[in-house]
Amino acid sequence: MAMKRKVLSIEEKVKVIREIENGRKKADVCREFGLITGILISGVGATIKAIYNNFDTLLEDRFYSPATLLIAIGSIVFLVAAFGCYGAVRESTCMIMMFAVLLAIVFLLELSAGLAGYILQDGLKEYLVSRLNVSMEHYNTDSEIAGTIDFMQERLQCCGLESYHDWEGRLENGTQGTVSPDGNITVPTSCCLQSCEYIAGNGCINRLLYVVGQSAVMLASTAISIALLQLLGVMFACSLGRSIRHQKTERERLRWELRESLLRKDSFYGDRKHSSSA
């Protein structure tokens, strides 16, 4: 004897249809979420890397690692989101669960990048003071270092480490720059403000510290914020997987009900035909 299944009411059928439509909407949300977060993560990583490139001779490779990782994560998010959307369209519970696992891995990568950004601030001022002092010593002999220092002094409108006095004895008098207002110190022309009648009175260390430090904070904050969103994405993926599983079950019930209805009709017309011939 065949097991009798529950016949769906009209309200239940409407509910199943709505759940199917909601599943399609979730796939659209999934695609948009992956696109937006991928662009945001890659954009922030590329921006921070571009800022650091302006001071490349002053910064070690460890400053670039979190930004490079963010750019890579952005590309990974695109691929993971595409995989999740494909799973949603195919209504594959297995693929959706795998999507949740991949999102969890992305969460860990983003968290690592964020923590690395915060770690960069540890001892940052002492590091920059040391690097800038050494770089100023090589200003005359290394064109790359000279270019970086000139860019820094022009863009940040500063001169020297703490003040233009830090250039004392580092340049040959009157041959490689301009003379300070007191006439005793030769400084690079990049210290000039609009014209060389005025020289920047502020040192560069605090302004450089602000640029590098705030860039690290922005990188870390963005990475951790997106990581928290990825946690929501993991929960969303698990919910979507359960929803798809439920939809498949309900659709199977609808198919069974339709088949039983057709069989009953065939049986009814067959009985009538048999009665008529009798």
- Residue spans of the domains in the chain: they are 18-121+213-257, 125-206
At residue 184, the pLDDT reads 74
Q: What is the pLDDT of residue 2?
A: 45
Average pLDDT of span 234-246: 73
Give the residue with greater pLDDT, 239 vs 260.
239
pLDDT tens figures, 155-164: 999 999 998 8
Distance of alpha carbon 258 from alpha carbon 191, whole angstroms: 84
Q: What pLDDT score does 92 carry?
A: 75
d(CA 183, CA 165): 11
The answer on pLDDT for 1 being more than 50 is no
Task: Select from 3.40.50.300, 3.40.50.720, 1.20.1300.10, 1.10.1450.10 the CATH code of 125-206.
Answer: 1.10.1450.10
Residue 199, φ and ψ in degrees, nearest 5: -115, 140
Give CA–CA dist 132/215, Å, rounded.
18
CATH architecture of 18-121+213-257: Up-down Bundle (1.20)
In degrees rounded to 5, what are phi and psi of residue 192? -70, 145
Q: Give the 3-state secondary structure of residue 90.
A: helix
pLDDT tens, residue by residue, 77-122:
888 888 877 777 777 778 878 888 888 898 899 999 999 988 988 8
- Find where tokens 């110190």 sit: 185
Q: What is the pLDDT of residue 5?
A: 47
> What tens digit of pLDDT does each residue of 51-60 get?
999 999 999 9
Residue 8 has pLDDT above 60, yes or no: no
- 171 closest CA partner among 183, 157, 159, 187: 187
Report helix, strand or coil for 162: coil
Question: Among candidates 144, 2, 175, which has minimal Cα distance to 59?
Answer: 144
